[in-house]
C-alpha cells in the first residue's frame, strides 16, 4: 500500500485540486488525511456525494461527526463518506483500481486547556469556536443598517406600536418610553416573510439562537435558514445531512432561548431567517453563531 508523500496545508476557504496527502484546518481543528492509492473501504459508506473533488470531500468529512474515513472514486468523482476506518474493519479494506482511501486522524492545535482547541488565537471547547461565538446581533456590533426584513408590523389603533428589524436582536427589550415591540414581526403572518443580516465580509456561520416576543405569547416554532455565499451572489438554503433544506425547531415559549446548529458550517456574506411555523403570530429575536 503506497502512501503519497508530502503534505499540502489548506483551510476550508481554499480547495486545491490534488490527490496528494494533505491536512485540512478549519473551525478550530486540524485533520491529517493520508491517502492509500488503489484501495477503498467497502460496505461502510453512509453517504455518497457526486461531482466534488477529494479535498471538498475531506471538508465534508471534517464537518460530519460520524465520518471516520472516506473513499474517493477518481473516475466518476464520487466521495464516499465512511462510518468506520480500515483499522477497525480491516476485512472491508480492499484493492480498488481507481479509488483512493483516506483515513482521518485528528491533531489538536496548542491550547493551555487540553479539552480545548485553538481558533484564530482563541481557545474554545472542542466542538469548535463557531458553536459558541456570537457574531454581534445581541451586543450591537452588527449595526441596524445591516438588518432588513420582508415587512414590519405597525399598529395604528388606540396606541402606536411598531416593529423594526433591529428589534429582532436576541434579548432585546424595548424601553418603556418607546413604541417598539419586543421582537421583529412582519406585517402579515405567512411563509413569505423573512429577516436578514448583511455580514459585510464572508464569515463562517454555524448556527442560530432564537427567542420569541417580549411579554407576548408569540414565537416562531419552525424556520429555515438561507445564506448568500461570496460567489455566486444568490441565496441558497442551509441543508441537512441528506442534502435537503434543513427545517429547524424554534421556540416553545416567548422568552426561552433555543440553540440550533447547522449540519455543516456555511461561508456567508448574508444570512436570512425564514419562519415556516409559529405560535399566534410570527415574532422573532435571534443571534447568529460562527467564527469571526
Can you list the domains of the chain with their CATH numbers? 8-107 (3.50.4.10), 133-291 (2.60.120.260)
Contact 131, 206 (CB under 8 A): yes
For cell 471547547, the residue is 125
Please compute the mean of the pLDDT values over residues 254-283 and round it to a whole number: 94
Question: What are the strands, taking DSSP E only, across 1-67?
Answer: 8-11, 22-26, 29-41, 45-50
In the three-class reduction of DSSP (H, G, I as helix; E, B as strand; rest coil), residue 239 is classed as strand
pLDDT, tens digit, 9 for 90 and up, residues 201-241: 888 898 999 999 999 999 999 999 999 988 777 899 999 88
pLDDT, tens digit, 9 for 90 and up, residues 178-210: 788 999 999 999 999 999 999 988 888 989 999
Query: How far are the Cα atoms of 32, 59, 67, 68, 217 from residue 8, in angstroms, in the given order?
Result: 10, 14, 21, 20, 54
pLDDT, tens digit, 9 for 90 and up, residues 74-110: 999 999 999 888 888 889 999 999 999 988 654 433 3
DSSP letter, residue 165: G
d(C-alpha 266, C-alpha 52), whole Å: 17
pLDDT of residue 120: 41
Q: Indicate if the pLDDT at residue 249 is higher than 70.
A: yes
Amino acid at each position: 500500500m503506497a502512501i503519497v508523500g508530502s503534505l499540502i496545508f489548506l483551510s476550508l476557504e481554499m480547495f486545491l485540486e490534488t490527490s496528494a496527502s494533505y491536512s485540512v484546518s478549519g473551525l478550530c481543528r486540524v485533520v491529517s488525511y493520508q491517502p492509500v492509492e488503489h484501495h477503498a473501504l467497502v460496505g461502510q459508506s453512509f453517504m455518497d456525494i457526486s461531482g466534488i473533488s477529494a479535498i471538498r470531500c475531506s471538508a465534508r468529512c471534517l464537518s460530519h461527526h460520524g465520518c471516520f474515513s472516506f473513499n474517493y472514486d477518481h473516475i466518476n468523482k464520487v466521495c464516499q463518506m465512511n462510518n468506520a476506518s480500515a483499522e477497525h474493519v480491516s476485512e472491508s479494506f480492499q484493492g480498488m483500481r481507481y479509488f483512493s482511501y483516506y483515513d482521518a486522524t485528528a491533531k489538536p492545535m496548542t491550547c493551555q486547556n487540553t479539552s480545548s482547541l485553538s481558533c484564530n488565537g482563541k481557545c474554545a471547547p472542542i466542538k469548535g469556536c463557531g458553536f459558541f461565538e456570537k457574531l454581534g446581533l445581541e451586543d450591537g456590533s452588527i449595526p441596524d443598517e445591516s438588518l432588513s426584513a420582508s415587512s414590519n408590523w405597525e399598529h395604528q389603533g388606540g396606541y402606536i406600536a411598531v416593529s423594526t428589524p433591529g428589534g429582532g436582536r436576541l434579548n432585546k427589550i424595548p424601553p418603556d418610553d418607546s413604541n417598539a415591540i419586543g421582537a421583529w414581526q412582519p406585517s402579515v403572518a405567512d411563509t413569505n416573510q423573512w429577516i436578514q443580516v448583511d455580514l459585510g465580509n464572508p464569515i463562517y456561520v454555524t448556527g442560530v439562537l432564537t427567542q420569541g416576543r417580549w411579554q407576548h405569547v408569540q414565537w416562531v416554532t419552525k424556520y429555515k435558514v438561507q445564506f448568500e455565499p461570496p460567489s455566486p451572489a444568490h441565496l441558497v438554503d442551509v441543508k441537512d445531512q441528506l442534502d435537503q433544506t434543513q427545517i429547524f425547531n424554534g421556540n416553545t415559549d416567548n422568552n426561552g432561548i433555543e440553540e440550533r446548529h447547522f449540519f455543516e458550517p456555511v461561508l456567508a456574506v448574508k444570512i436570512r431567517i425564514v419562519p415556516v411555523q409559529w405560535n399566534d403570530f410570527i415574532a422573532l429575536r435571534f443571534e447568529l453563531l460562527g467564527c469571526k
